[in-house]
Amino acid sequence: MPIYNLNVNNQAVSVDAPANMALLWVLRDKLGITGPKYGCGLDVCKACTCLVNGKAVSTCAVKISEVANKKVTTIEGLANGSTLHPVQQAWLDRDVPQCGFCQPGQIMAAVDLLSRTRTPTDADIDAIENMCRCGTYGRIREAIRAAAAMMP
Ligand code: FES
Ligand code: FES
């Protein structure tokens, strides 16, 4: 199998994997990074959301061959040492999660949004397609606004 080099959470990694292996399975099964979750495998639920070169993507729908030499960030790579990312802190402060399954993806989608604007409108937040079976959307909205206020 081919070897792919990429940067995951600020560490250079080499992965021996089939070219069509989904990034989600590379992360979870080959690298043991289990923050990104498998929900649908169809680019619908977004539970698998991570950042590739800073942009939110569904990792179930991205092949390892498409991310060679790119920078991948999972929720495990958001904190700066013991200091949480403002989005993570806002999520804790607002007690957002219920079952928690969708939340790593929700947080990564929020990080992507706030990298594009610090003043997201309701429409910007509603454009996040990540699904939550527990219906935490109201608290997600509050937490995104709180995180924006905390960010420089
Ligand atoms: S697992 Fe549902 S979009 Fe990736
Ligand atoms: S917190 Fe349960 S699915 Fe979102």
Nearest ligand 1 atom, CA 37: 1
pLDDT for the residue numbered 43? 98
The alpha carbon of 101 and the centre of ligand 2 are apart by a number of angstroms equal to 5
| Helix and strand counts by DSSP (H, E) for the chain | 5, 5
- Does ligand 2 have an atom closer than 6 angstroms to the CB of 67? no
Residue 142 CA, ligand 1 centroid: distance in Å: 24
pLDDT at position 14 over 90: yes
Q: What's the pLDDT tens digit per position in 69-86?
A: 999 999 999 999 999 999
Residue 152 has pLDDT above 90, yes or no: no
* Cα–Cα distance for residue pair 33/74, rounded to 1 Å: 8
Whether 22 and 14 have beta carbons less than 8 Å apart is answered as no
**149 CB burial (10 A radius; 0-12, 13-18, 19+):** exposed
Residue 105: which pLDDT band, with cuts at 50, 70 and 90? very high
Pocket lining: 99 vs ligand 2, CB cutoff 6 Å: yes
Q: HSE on the CB side for 131, CA within 13 Å? A: 13
| Atom of ligand 1 lying closest to residue 48 CA | 4
Rounded CA separation 27/10 (Å): 14
Residue 1 has pLDDT above 90, yes or no: no
pLDDT tens readout for residues 123-145: 999 999 999 999 999 999 999 99
Q: Ligand 2 centroid vs 94 CA: distance in angstroms?
A: 14
Residue type at 66 in one-letter notation:
E
